[in-house]
A and B are shown apart, each in its own frame.
Chain A
């Protein structure tokens, strides 16, 4: 390859932009999305848990992967669904996006029951798992609908995060501060990874994630099968306001 990283960056950006604008690109762009990092970790000779719990290693191994396997965009999101935390902080728009995904280090801080991680609850070389669970009873739907943020903070998070078990306790306060520190580190990491990849000619692909109310109920409150059968069996009206 004789093209400079700047030329590659420009070429890939234009290719991706053309597709986004529904125009015809020179060729179909190829983008990789990885949240487990299995292949990238293996290729770089590290374990999956090293990848998921060490931001420096993610940066190194991702740059190696991007350099050795030329493509157009590499998206690394080393975290599980954490939308409930964004909702918990939804009145604080400067915080909510930082806790949109639950990373390995955040799992260490919160000790949540939603997820299991390699090198923690799982062997070293396997993907993390989103387990979910039934954390809300049927007769609590009304409370959830009435004030989702209050209900999540006061009732659900103490049930689902062992570190937040006793709201207002030293342990819970410390966990929230640590969560903030981890969230900032994660934000800094994403920026640094973007810069690393730009240096080897990769643009960042602008993406966003939306969530459906029934998925939200299924993942964080009632298990997916619970949410599905609640709708039928108990004629639950999912009146959640889908406001961002």
Chain B
């Protein structure tokens, strides 16, 4: 058993490296081998979390660009496809996020990167897609009772829709029950205040970090 565990941990480190270097085929091969070795899918997810954290740091340092984040998101989604059927015990998520691009806006590259990175960090994400009207957000919040509402948008116009959505939450008596984060190229401290959100982020990786803070997860330093 020890050999298997040792082998597993070597492979997990290899997985992190391959993921960080965006070697898609190698990542998928390693995941397959790890599952054959009997490694817990939760450990594979943890390796993905380590990898995406490092990728996020490389992005923030200007070593990786948008295309690397998009690609990392796609690799993560393929890893999830491979391991989901093998997950036998429910892993408790660090938090639940209802996510969507707000009404009138259809830009979803940032939202999708955020989603993949948030899932890799242990969040359960309910993605409502694009052009989501306030009432759909409200319904989803009633149904899923998330910790966080994440609203995304690229257009200046989207800020209005974010505000309308927060207003709708207030009318529904739900605003105080959840944290609200807005994301996108046009958001900043002023937009946050105007919208009535709790946090904002103009980078997906920063958004994930802020979500962790919002649910009180210790943000681990990774070299």
Contacts and interface: CB of A to CB of B under 8 A. Distances in A.
Interface stretch (B29-37, B65-73, B121-129): B65-73
Interface residues of B, number: 14
Interface string B96-139: 00000000101001001000000000000000000000000000
Contact of B70 (A38, A127, A225): A225
B106 A131 contact: yes
B24 interface: yes
A232 B155 contact: no
A38 B104 CA distance: 13
Contacts of B22: 232
Interface residues of A, number: 12
Contact of B106 (A129, A224, A228): A129
Chain A contact residues: helix, strand, loop or mixed: helix
A228 B69 CA distance: 10
Chain B contact residues: helix, strand, loop or mixed: helix
B106 A38 contact: no
A112 to B, nearest CB: 16
Given A126-B104, A127-B155, A228-B66, A233 B71 contact: yes
A231 interface: yes
A225 B157 contact: no
A169 interface: no
Contacts, number: 28
B74 interface: yes
B106 A229 contact: no
B74 A229 contact: yes
B109 A229 contact: no
Nearest to B22: A232
B102 to A, nearest CB: 12
Contacts of B71: 228-229, 232-233
A29 B74 CA distance: 44
B136 to A, nearest CB: 16
A127 B67 CA distance: 27
Nearest to B25: A233
Nearest to A226: B70
A127 B106 contact: no
B155 A233 contact: no
A224 B109 contact: yes
Contacts of A127: 104, 155, 157
Interface string B3-29: 000000000000000000010100000
Given A126-B157, A225-B70, 12 more contacts: A127-B104, A127-B155, A224-B109, A225-B112, A228-B66, A228-B71, A229-B67, A232-B22, A232-B67, A232-B68, A233-B24, A233-B71
Interface of B: 22, 24, 66-68, 70-71, 74, 104, 106, 109, 112, 155, 157
